[in-house]
Structure 1
Amino acid sequence: MKKEEFDAAFEKITKTQRMVLKSFLAGKTDEAIAQSLSLSDSSTVRRHIAKICREFEFKNQEGEHFSYRQELIELFAHFRPDLVNPNLLTGVQLTLEFPEGQIPVNSIFYIERSTIESDCYQEIFYPGTLILIKAPKLMGKTSLLTRIMAHAAQHDYRTVQLNLRLADKAMLTSLDNFLRGFCQMVSRELQLEDRVNEYWDLELLSSNYNCTSYFEEYLLPQINCPLVLGLDESDRLFHYPEIAQDFFGLLRLWHEKSKNPNIWQKLRLVVVHSTEVYIQLDANKSPFNVGMPINLPEFTQAEVQDLASRHQLNWQQNQVEKLMAMVGGHPYLVRLAMYYIKRQNLTLEDFLATAATDEGIYSHHLKRLLINLQEDVELFESFKALINSTSESVQLERFQLYKLYAMGLVKFTGVKVQPRCDLYRRYFSYE
């Protein structure tokens, strides 16, 4: 079956059949499904599943009386693995994904952390909401942002997801250039005509006012539903303080405007950044001290165990502990380890023996970090001093801490700062 055929079949099943299907793929028994959905008995569940199988072209020949449940599981493991309980995947051929960049929305390898996802999904429905997602690089910020946007889209919201890395040097030469480009990008993503020039009047009005008018008088009235605007890598602007001051102040203003019944209640903002805000922002104009803050944590031991199961690795608790002793609960480092262990049939011991060397699976990642550190001699020396210190008295400048945190090299435990994991401690202690 092709993806288009699968999607068409999935759309055709009834609401009740969809609830039965999701419960079945979650690993519930027929009896439990019947009880949770208030169906008459388990035979009703079996009939629903049989009809679902027929929709997906699993049909018994005349006189045959066998079930296609396992085939249904395998089909969804291929096209919608996010709906399948990992415990049902034993024996199912696993499609591995190289852990690089954003995790696909339907990936079975995405691990939800505590209530973070559900909290964000709920928050996005509140008029004028502002969600602030912060974490170092490779912790899953963009993957979470994409899921928030997908969840909003499923409820017929319009969504625009912008990565501010797309703002080139020409766009960042002045606040006016940036806000013009920003409005043009949003217009294009909404598939609306670019009318920026009509709303821009620099002779009498400021760029902030023009940008606000463009949203208030043109963009928001053009859509008849809420608009979720997701801004990824917003800390790019921290290197351009004059632009950042006004732009972030503008986001705060729009958020404040939404507290009164008006068109601004249509706009919901999700802002993603990887560092602390190290530029001076007026506390009354900063969006980073209002809204709903989300700090993405590392995986817990239970979440690492869950991810191992999804990779069909039959690990015991002590094996999970050994991996975490090396890389902690860092999502990218954990996933990369499991990818190679599963793909190359490595033992955990073989992986650990070379993990912190140039021969190990992290070689490319570690060398990239090394090159970035070598570009800033003072930062590199400070990090080596932290790694090689036998005490907890190493003093680092605030700006250095922010940069090391953004790179994912350090973590904070209370007021203490330390290398994020033993992998980094071992590798960089040799440099």
Structure 2
Amino acid sequence: MISSEPLATPYCMTIDEVIRLLDNSQLRNITPLQDKVLRLAWEGRTYAEMASALHYQDAYLKNIASGLWQELSLLFGEPITKTNFSYKLKNRSLTEEQQQYLDTPNNISSRQQKNTPESPYGPVPLNSDFYVERPPVEELAFMEVHKPGGVIRLKAPAKMGKSSLLLRIIAQAKIVNYHTIQIDFREIDQTRFENLDKLLRWFCTVISRQLNLKPKLNEYWDDDIGSKVNCSYYLQHYILSNLENPLVISFNDIHHILAYSELAANFLSLLRYWYEQSRQSEIWQKLRMILVHSTEIYVPLRFHESPFNVGLPITIPEFTLPQIQELAKRHGLDWNNATGTKYSQILMTLIGGHPYLVRLALYYICWRGMSLETLITEASTSKGIYREHLQNYLVILQSHPELLNCWLLIVTSTEPVQLETVTVYCLESLGLIKIVEGGVVPRCELYRQYFHRQLLLVNLMDNQLKRLEEDNQRLQENCYIDQYTQTGNRRGFNQTLEIEWRRMTRNKLPIALILCHVAFFKTYENSLDEFARNDYLKQVAPIIKNCVQRASDYVARYDDNVFGIILPETSLPGATKVAERIRQNIELIVNEEILGSITVNVGVACIIPEIEINSSFLEHEAQKALYRSRRMGPNTIIVSSLLDE
């Protein structure tokens, strides 16, 4: 905790100073993702908005932010949360010690240098030196947006550069004074997807407001003609008719609507209708559409109703080797010579030409001073620079076990794997796979290494968990088993008697209890120690167990030399037969001198349970019968006279 007297001149902090203070107070610098989370929180953005901007799960971002709030709380000596973050620190003066932290030179100061690499998170800004064009993608897109009624279909997995390219297409449109509207399907409230009418009314309202036009839905909406007709009529007669210049509407992450199949079919067919109208109507030629999605669209639409087979399709490719070398050059690295080419090839072997992964690697090599060797070695581990990216994938897959199982099949296979279309759709939209001849493969070696490592850890943990479960089961069993006779112990006896008593009470069936006392000849008994007695009882136990034949019958060591036998659904005559069988079998063994020197006394009790009495009543009656048997002499059986009446 930092504590010192404030400077005489108050100084209100900026977010850059907060990050520098946090950076200099830790043993290692904060990551680019932590940097971005702090900046967005400073602006008051919600976790959902952060997730949308950074392409991470909001739950994962909350976890990262939680650690930052704890560190900031320790740093400033008071609770810092997302809610009070900017408020508390914007109005806080720097202490002398904090000022010293800010003045301490470290690698953070390089942020303020003119040619310092910018954060690799989010779209590449329009004025950035680090946007690498991928000809002829940009030129084709710019040409299409100027075509009357043009449609551009941008397709690529997350973090491949769709948003960066979209920024530049929109900028081109604005240069010639086109109106531009951006619809992001990740930001639409779930309630808007309840039915088509709600979605289209929301759509028309958003367009109106973004164009600074007063929404007039009530004037143009007629419930009798249907939502799609209403929306088209509103767009044609109110929106497009009031615009002199073309209107460009981008539909970002349009694949999110696919979770609502019927809604998606209606909405997408409407977009196709607008395109068809532009072929024959001048006013509809003002409309240009950009459809941005992460994967193929698998919605059952007729060919002439789909907007995904018209216009200009653009699949954003990965970086080529020369493009990686060019980007490295813009980061101040000389990778155009033989050694640099080798470095680029090594990097591509691990991550391919994935734009985000390449940018992140160059960011750390240039700004953090990390060697390529260290980066490659640690890449798939919890220390590596890709840990947040990879852990985000792990969180997503763990929430979809079936998808995770298919993905693990891919990373452990040496050949392309064939999967169901829906599974391919999901994994491709995540950016985890590439479709090749014969099936699918991991998009890059990094993903294979990381998840293969995770699979080994999971298998190790599964094996450990299995052993623990087996040990726990044995412990549980031992809790109810007598270690010498391997029959139930008194705890098991009590629990079983209570369970069966309740069952027989419900079913109004009889339950019997036999208590069998094993005695030794008096002269012989005096010479036996505890271990010898247990050894004899161990030999008697199987004889008694063999006398009961049903799975529901239960044999336990009731007391030192007493066995208890619980017989559910057994009448008094049936229980007496079991008792006689026990007596005869033990006598037979004694006569054959296999066991010798022992006798038995048996007490039997039986009852049909009632709610008003409990199991201790049956137990008490069996004890009384056993007591009478022992008084009658060896090898006798007594049945409870009370229950026999």
Is TM more than 0.5 here? Answer: yes
Could you tell me which of 92, 117, 135 is aligned with 2:156? 135
**How far is 1:391 from its partner?**
3.0
Counterpart residue number, 2:267: 247
Q: 1:398: how far off?
A: 0.9
Please give the per-residue CA displacement for 1:245-300, whole angstroms capped at 9, x wherever unaligned. Answer: 11111110100111124200100111000011122122110000111100111111
1:341 has 2:361 as partner: no
1:399 aligns with 2:422: yes
Alignment partner of 2:326: what SS? helix
For the residue of structure 1 that corresponds to 2:244, the secondary structure is coil
Give how far 1:162 is off.
Answer: 1.6
Matched residue SS, 1:170:
helix
Aligned residues: 338
Tell me which amino acid in the other structure corresponds to 1:357: T
- Matched with 2:331 is 311
1:223-253 deviations in Å (ceiling 9; x for gaps): 1011111111000111111111111111101
CA-CA distance at 1:395 after TM superposition: 2.7
Q: Residues 166-245 of structure 1: matches in 2 within 5 Å?
A: 166-202=187-223, 204-245=224-265
Partner in structure 2 of residue 98 of structure 1: 119
Is 1:411 the counterpart of 2:434? The answer is yes
* Identity level (%): 44
1:21-420 equivalences under 5 Å are 93-202=114-223, 204-315=224-335, 316-392=340-416, 394-420=417-443
Q: What is the identity, as a one-letter code, of the residue corresponding to 1:327?
A: I
C-alpha deviations, 1:125-162, integer Å up to 9, x for none?
11001111101111111111111011010011111112
Verify the 8 A CA contact 2:116 2:331 in the aligned structure 1. no
Alignment partners' CA distance in 2, 1:241 and 1:274: 17
Secondary structure of 2:138's match? helix
Secondary structure of residue in 2 paired with 1:255: helix
Residues 152, 228 of structure 1: 8 Å contact kept: yes
**Alignment TM-score, normalising by the size of structure 2:** 0.52
Cα pair 2:116 2:367 within 8 Å, conserved: no
Q: Give 3-state SS (helix, strand or coil) of 1:309's partner.
A: helix
Amino acid at match of 2:345: E
Deviation by residue 1:46-75 (Cα, 9 ceiling, x = unmatched): xxxxxxxxxxxxxxxxxxxxxxxxxxxxxx
Q: Which piece of structure 1 moves more, 243-252 or 94-103?
A: 94-103
Per-residue CA deviations over 1:145-189 (Å, capped at 9, x if unaligned) read 111011010011111112111211111110000000011111111
Root-mean-square deviation (Å): 1.1
8 Å CA contact 2:157, 2:295 repeated in 1: yes
SS of equivalent residue, structure 2 residue 359: helix
- On the 8 A contact 2:418/2:438 being kept in 1, the answer is no
What is the identity, as a one-letter code, of the residue corresponding to 2:342? N
What amino acid maps onto 1:161 in structure 2?
Q
Q: List alignment gaps of at least 5 residues for structure 1.
A: 1-91
SS in 2 for 1:205: coil
| Counterpart residue identity of residue 220, structure 1 | L
Which residue identity lines up with residue 267 of structure 1 in the other structure? L
Find runs of 4+ consecutive structure 1 residues off by over 6 angstroms: none
Residue number in structure 1 paired with 2:511: none
Deviation, 1:114, is 1.6
Deviation at 1:415, TM superposition (A): 4.4
- How far apart in 1 are the matches of 2:191 and 2:281? 37
Q: Which AA in structure 2 matches 1:407?
A: L
Q: Contact between 2:184 and 2:254, CA under 8 Å: does it hold in 1?
A: yes
Is the Cα contact below 8 Å between 1:149 and 1:161 reproduced in 2? no
> In 1, Cα distance between the equivalents of 2:287 and 2:114?
43
Q: Separation in 1 of the partners of 2:220 and 2:196?
A: 16
| Larger Rg computed on CA atoms | 2
Given residue 176 of structure 1, which amino acid in structure 2 is its aligned partner?
A: D
Question: Which secondary structure does the structure 1 equivalent of 2:440 belong to?
Answer: strand
Tell me, in whole angstroms, the C-alpha distance in 2 between the residues paired with 1:326 and 1:172. 41
CA distance in 1, matches of 2:133, 2:211: 29
Bigger drift between 106-115 and 328-337 goes to: 106-115
Contact 2:419 2:439 in 1 (8 A): no
Question: Contact between 1:134 and 1:274, CA under 8 Å: does it hold in 2?
Answer: yes
Q: Secondary structure at the match of 1:369?
A: helix
Q: Secondary structure at the match of 2:290?
A: strand
Q: Equivalent residue of 1:299, what SS?
A: coil
**CA separation in 1, counterparts of 2:239 and 2:144?**
23
